[in-house]
Amino acid sequence: MAAATRGCPPLGSLLRLLGLLSAATASWDLASLRCNLGSFCECDFRPDLPGLECDLAQHLAGQHLAKALVVKSLKAFVHDPSPTKPLVLSLHGWTGTGKSYVSSLLAHYLFQGGLRSPHVHHFSPIIHFPHPSNIDRYKKDLKNWVQGNLTACGRSLFLFDEMDKLPPGLMEVLRPFLGPSWVVYGTNYRKAIFIFISNTGGEQINQVALEAWRSRRDREEISLQELEPAVSRAVLDNPHHGFWHSGIVEERLLDAVVPFLPLQRHHVRHCVLNELAQLGLEPRDEVVQAVLDSTTYFPEDEQLFSSNGCKTVASRIAFFL
């Protein structure tokens, strides 16, 4: 079935997608996921951008900038038959604001196999790079992994989670793959997609959102121009971030810095209603209210933003049912 016929599902399941994402992290084996280089490699890149746009519109609460940037970047990249460089997106924001959810949706709507596709590669610092003392081996393995999989299939998606927990210096091996060159190490890599995810910059994003609220500005009036410099500076000043001294930010290899705004009470309510619908349950006012009341908010005086975004909504619903 063609990807374009998949359409927008009745409701995207955050837990299901994130569960698959977690399962995928355990599958980094240099022999198992790579296509057999001696045989034909059938890439399952089947982009369904209308479906992605529909799902984001229905289920991603409070993120007008992230929605617009992701969709615009993907449309331009996918519709270009000969891109000059891979698509490189860096997702930033407070916990529970939707970064991992968006990355899961990208895999789902770009590849027929979704997160189970052999061409979707997810890296977690805890699983794949747990010991900083092994940095030299990690560099060699990561370079070989990316190069080998791009040789097998140029249409590959690489997801790097928790960038603020990666060993310093690791990401510098990716720099040759991210720039505007035709080939690198004999590999055509211009049609690949790299997604980097981190909480770095979240405090700066929160501060801009708070100041906008205090000034009685509409949330949707917050622009990328207000956020991008502060986020980029937070990354460059953080010695624990994976981009530290990698040259990736300095050489402007990121196509977009995608900020995720902190979620307010009505956004959490949206997540609660989505989760109840996914469970096949009618919205019960007492359950919705209990989840909202049990959620902690900040700053202390305004009690405006959810401390965990929508991250704990599913478990809280289960508790109050």
Q: Which residues are annotated as a binding site for ATP?
A: 93-100
Is residue 267 within 8 A of residue 305, CB to CB? The reply is: no
Number of H helices, E strands in the chain: 12, 9
Binding residues: 93-100
Strand pairing category for 297-298 and 305-306 = antiparallel
- Reading the block at residue 72, the tokens are 């615009």
* Distance of alpha carbon 49 from alpha carbon 85, whole angstroms: 20
Q: What type of residue sits at position 115?
A: L
How does DSSP classify residue 122? E
CA distances (Å), origin 185, targets 151, 173, 178: 10, 12, 13
Q: What are phi and psi of 114, to 5 degrees?
A: 60, -140
- Reading the block at residue 40, the tokens are 């034909």
- Reading the block at residue 104, the tokens are 């899961």
* Distance of alpha carbon 94 from alpha carbon 263, whole angstroms: 9
The structure tokens 């910059």 sit at: 201
